[in-house]
Structure 1
Amino acid sequence: MTSSPQPSRSLILGSTSRYRHELLSRLRVPFNAVAPEVDETPKPGENPADLALRLALAKARDVARRFPQAVVIGSDQVADLHGVPLGKPGTHERAVEQLRRMSGKTVVFQTALAVTCLETGFEECDIAPVRVVFRTLDEAEIEHYLRAEQPYDCAGSAKSEGLGIALLERIDNDDPTALVGLPLIRTCRLLRAAGVGLL
């Protein structure tokens, strides 16, 4: 009889995102979720990929300071519309504006990942860009989608795992869960490097 693999150190997801929690649960490794305290305001001139990487690392480091013996995962996603960062809309009105801007365009969703452990000195980052081509959307489609999904906590208002898939023409990426919020192929690689047993 085989038992589930146990990590050598406690594992913490530095996030309160229900999407990331569900994705990390797929790995069947015990973990806790802790809210990071990080200012997510972009710096002047900061490009979306750099913003996502900076915030992912800041989230991991913030939680790691409180739990120095744990392996901590931080992640962040920023929608990149021709170099302009689009974050979580927060409100219906902002979501409408975001979807109008993305209609008929190609958007790169930059999903960054950081894994750190203060006690061992381990720290690595990675980013999974996902190229998404949006259909040309009319106002009725935008309203119907937003009322149905209320994706106000999703970068760029795009909830691809739900009805948001109907907004899209194409998705190009090499890490299938990246668009949802946590690139699991890269997460597995960094966790193995940090000494967390998975299989």
Structure 2
Amino acid sequence: MSGVLQDPGVPLVLASTSATRAALLRSAGLAFTTAAPGVDEESVKESARADGLSASDAALLLAELKARRISERVPQAVVIGADQILVCGGRWFDKPRDRAAAAAQLAALSGRRHELVTAVLVMRGGVVLWRHVATPRLTMRPLTAATISAYLDAAGEAVLRSVGAYQAEGLGIRLFDAIEGEHAAILGLPLLPLLGFLRQHRVLTD
């Protein structure tokens, strides 16, 4: 697609295979390509926890590793890397491996407030140009085992693609009492600050 008020001479690449992040950029009228960075996120998170890094630092580290992999391949491009870590009570949550893990995650989040630490980073020619961390806060309503089971039946395999075993942009919204933060950041990409950066650096020309 053609970018809306975008410099055609500056290639833009999303270092992610996330369909949700790509859809967010596309909905904002950006012309870009996607590339799989091939980063072992689980091992990086394990190392980050072992080194005592905060969730914010770990998310930024992952975003940078993803962007750097792609920036090495296409140094002329502006590369966007992003990552998100769910934190509740000091515990970091990952995407569930199966339905049982998803049910356990929802039970752990039930009736509690958690944070979605969401990092975005922009790199060009191997140089970090900008980084940002958003921290939306979500409060899940108390859930019974029966409610969790019914939700998983209705939501299906989609919950395995969500770090919290829910998708707040769809059926999962019914699991919450309160949500604070930018909707796009909740979905995995702080879009408003990113657009501001791209505009400031004339990648976007509106």
TM-score clears 0.5: yes
Aligned length, in residue pairs: 195
CA RMSD of aligned residues (A): 1.7
Partner of 2:169: 161
Partner of 1:138: 144
Q: Deviations over 1:17-73 (max 9, x none)?
A: 111011010121210011111121212133322221111111111111111100011
CA distance in 2, matches of 1:178, 1:130: 7
Q: Deviations over 1:135-160 (max 9, x none)?
A: 01111211222222231111111210
Stretches of structure 2 that go unaligned for 5 or more consecutive residues are none
Partner of 2:25: 24
Q: Is the 8 A contact 2:12 2:77 kept in 1?
A: yes
CA distance in 2, matches of 1:87, 1:171: 20
The 3-state SS of whatever aligns with 1:60 is helix
CA distance in 1, matches of 2:90, 2:129: 27
CA distance in 1, matches of 2:205, 2:106: 38
From the superposition, tell whether residues 177 and 4 of structure 1 become closer, same or farther in structure 2 (CA, over 3 Å).
closer
Within the alignment, does 1:67 sit opposite 2:65 as a pair?
A: no
CA distance in 2, matches of 1:80, 1:99: 13
My pick for the range that moved more, 161-170 or 139-148, is: 139-148
Identity %: 36
My pick for the range that moved more, 82-91 or 154-163, is: 82-91
Q: Is the 8 A contact 2:121 2:128 kept in 1?
A: no
Within the alignment, does 1:197 sit opposite 2:204 as a pair?
A: yes
Partner of 1:10: 11
- Higher helix proportion, which one? 2
Question: What TM-score results when the alignment is normalised by the length of structure 1?
Answer: 0.91
Partner of 1:147: 153
Q: Give the AA of the match of 2:5.
A: P
From the superposition, tell whether residues 98 and 46 of structure 1 become closer, same or farther in structure 2 (CA, over 3 Å).
farther
The 3-state SS of whatever aligns with 2:41 is coil
Question: What TM-score results when the alignment is normalised by the length of structure 2?
Answer: 0.88
